Amino acid sequence: MSKTSKVNVYVFEPGVLRRKWYKVIPYREIAEELKEGREVLLEGISRQLAYYASKKLTKMLGEEVNHAPAEFNGKFKSGREKLAVSGYAFFLKKLEQSGK
């Protein structure tokens, strides 16, 4: 279990940003989002927890999951609220195949 009190999970899709709050990291839900080809940003976790999470997700999916520090700056569609998020982004590693 993580030592964080609240984890914000942001899922990025073309034209859409979804946000949910959790008390613990929802590994199963993150794995499903990664399988669908989406990037996920976790706010409120430490560097060590990001490393652990990427290893656990790699084991769950059977594919390498990378993580990197990330920031997102934008606005909600209403334009009233600005959104500035920093945390760790998780994404599947895309292996480049060289046919030559």
Express each pLDDT in 7-51 by its tens digit. 888 887 766 677 787 888 899 999 999 999 888 999 888 999 999
pTM: 0.75
Residue 100's pLDDT is: 43
C-alpha dist (Å) from residue 19 to 7, 50, 85, 93:
10, 18, 11, 23
DSSP 98: P
The 7-13 sheet, strands edge to edge: 16-22, 7-13, 39-43, 82-92, 65-75
